[in-house]
């Protein structure tokens, strides 16, 4: 049995949220629980730990002192209403914010086992992205053939050996449950695939380079229910091989695919715990309100 790490928000923010949701402030808060404590389980190792992490878009503080663990070879879902910062948090893991000027990180995200601080300015974002793959909201295959899309990561890492690339492409497409559908047309343009197939291709593209962590940013929001089901099934299968973080708007999806869930609101982590506990027995009233659809 895994013990549950539960985060508590700061005094001041509690008042703010309470105002919004109409709940009296000050209740159900454990004054002894420090923001930074990560009481992760003993059975499941932690792949990454977010510690006191804040994020600024210019002067706007989009994320406020977030601390949470990401368990190895488990699926962690980030849920919360639009604008709560869940995508911002996800995009921090592969330093996507570095692409745009005016963004600032505070705090640390440590990637284990080597304990690298992903946010350290001395750490090359390209190194980070080589270890952490990402699947986007809208499928974004490159304007290349199916084969070349999957081979892209290998090629930019300097792999030249054709048979190695062939093997890894095949393996990645099998891993993304796409092989049987594209086996005979590997050299067709990727844009000819359907939306769901394109998204699985994007997953295969990541798998080809064997990342340690896979980030999914609302991967099914542009897909129909059948394609969504196949992606969810795939996430379930990948769970044994790679650590997964998924942002989703769809609470049923979070409940179906994830082992751990983090509920975020207005840039703060409101509650983190095992998905079962969050959905069946949330500790906070706000989490319960969101999950039962009373707001958000």
Partner 1 sequence: MQETNSGGAASLVPYGPLSVSDRLAKKVLRNFKERVIELLLLGAAFVSVLTTVGIIWVLVSESVNFFDNVPIWSFLTDTMWTPLFAEPRYGILPLLAGTLTTSAVALVVAIPLGTTIAIYLSEFARPAVREVVKPFLELLGGIPTIVYGYFALMVVIPLLQLLMPELSGFNMLGAGIVMGIAIIPYVSSLAEDAMRAVPMSMREGSYAMGATRLQTAFRVVFPAALSGILSAYILGISRAVGETMIVAVAAGMQPNFTVNPLEPAQTISAYIVQVALGDLPHGSIGYQSIFAAGLSLMLMTLALNLVGHVVRRRYREAY
Contact code string over 112-151 relative to partner 1, x by CB under 8 A: --------------xx-xx--xx-x-x-xxxxx-------
Beta carbon of residue 191, minimum distance to partner 1 (angstroms, whole number): 5
DSSP string for residues in 8-37 = ---HHHHHHHHHHHT--TTTT--TT--TT-
Beta carbon of residue 130, minimum distance to partner 1 (angstroms, whole number): 4
Identified binder of partner 1 from the candidate list 153, 175, 219, 282, rule CB under 8 A: 153
With CB under 8 A, what is the number of residues at the site for partner 1?
26
Q: Look up residue 236 and give its two tokens.
A: 């379930």
Beta carbon of residue 138, minimum distance to partner 1 (angstroms, whole number): 6
Q: Which stretch binds partner 1 (CB under 8 A): 22-30, 80-88, 91-99, 172-180?
A: 91-99
Question: Between residues 34 and 143, which has the closer beta carbon with respect to partner 1?
Answer: 143
Of 261, 281, 284, nearest to 273 by C-alpha is 261
Q: Look up residue 183 and give its two tokens.
A: 């086996």
Question: Between residues 28 and 126, which has the closer beta carbon with respect to partner 1?
Answer: 126
Say how far apart CA 241 and CA 176 lie, in whole Å: 12
Task: Indicate the SS3 state at residue 130.
Answer: helix
Say how far apart CA 207 and CA 214 lie, in whole Å: 9
Question: Between residues 126 and 164, which has the closer beta carbon with respect to partner 1?
Answer: 126
Q: Which residues, listed in sequence order, are joined to residue 38 by a DSSP beta bridge?
A: none
Say how far apart CA 96 and CA 134 lie, in whole Å: 10
Identified binder of partner 1 from the candidate list 205, 234, 258, 279, rule CB under 8 A: 205
- Local structure of residue 208 (DSSP, 8 states): T
Question: Between residues 62 and 134, which has the closer beta carbon with respect to partner 1?
Answer: 134
Identified binder of partner 1 from the candidate list 7, 63, 90, 96, rule CB under 8 A: 96
Say how far apart CA 148 and CA 204 lie, in whole Å: 11
| Cis, peptide link before residue 9, omega less than 30° from 0 | no
Say how many C-beta atoms besides its own lie within 10 A of residue 164's C-beta: 11
Identified binder of partner 1 from the candidate list 1, 24, 99, 122, rule CB under 8 A: 99
E strands, the chain, in order: 46-57, 60-71, 75-79, 103-111, 116-117, 132-135, 213-217, 243-247, 260-265, 268-274
Cα separation values, 283 from 226, 237, 277, Å: 34, 30, 8
Question: Between residues 148 and 274, which has the closer beta carbon with respect to partner 1?
Answer: 148
Identified binder of partner 1 from the candidate list 19, 28, 156, 164, rule CB under 8 A: 156
Question: Between residues 104 and 157, which has the closer beta carbon with respect to partner 1?
Answer: 157
Q: Which of residues 157-186 bind partner 1 (CB under 8 A)?
A: 157
If binding is defined by CB under 8 A, does position 213 make contact with partner 1? no
Q: Which residues bind partner 1 (CB under 8 A)?
A: 94, 96, 99, 126-127, 129-130, 133-134, 136, 138, 140-144, 152-153, 155-157, 191, 202, 205-206, 209
């Amino acid at each position: 049995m895994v013990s549950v790490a539960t985060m508590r928000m700061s005094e001041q923010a509690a008042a703010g949220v309470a105002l919004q949701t109409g709940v009296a402030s000050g209740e159900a808060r454990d004054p002894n629980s420090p923001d930074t404590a990560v009481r992760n389980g003993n059975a499941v190792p932690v792949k990454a730990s977010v510690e006191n992490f804040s994020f600024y878009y210019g002067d706007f503080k989009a994320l406020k002192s977030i601390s949470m663990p990401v368990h190895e070879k488990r699926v962690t879902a980030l849920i919360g209403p639009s604008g709560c910062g869940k995508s911002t948090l996800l995009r921090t893991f592969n330093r996507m914010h570095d692409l745009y000027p005016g963004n600032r990180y505070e705090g640390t995200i440590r990637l284990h086992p080597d304990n690298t601080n992903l946010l350290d300015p001395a750490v090359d974002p390209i190194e980070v992205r080589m270890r952490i793959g990402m699947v986007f909201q809208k499928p974004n295959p490159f304007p290349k053939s199916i084969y070349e899309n999957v081979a892209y990561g290998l090629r930019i890492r300097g792999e030249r050996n054709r048979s190695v690339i062939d093997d890894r492409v095949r393996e990645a497409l099998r891993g993304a449950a796409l092989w049987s559908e594209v086996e005979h047309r590997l050299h067709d343009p990727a844009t000819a695939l359907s939306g769901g197939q394109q998204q699985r291709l994007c997953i295969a593209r990541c798998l080809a380079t064997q990342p340690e962590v896979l980030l999914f940013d609302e991967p099914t929001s542009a897909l129909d229910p059948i394609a969504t089901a196949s992606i969810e099934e795939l996430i379930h299968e990948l769970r044994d091989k790679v650590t997964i973080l998924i942002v989703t708007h769809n609470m049923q999806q979070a409940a179906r695919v994830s082992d751990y869930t983090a509920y975020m609101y207005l840039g703060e982590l409101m509650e983190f715990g095992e998905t079962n506990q969050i959905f069946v027995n949330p500790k906070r009233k706000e989490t319960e309100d969101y999950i039962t659809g009373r707001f958000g």
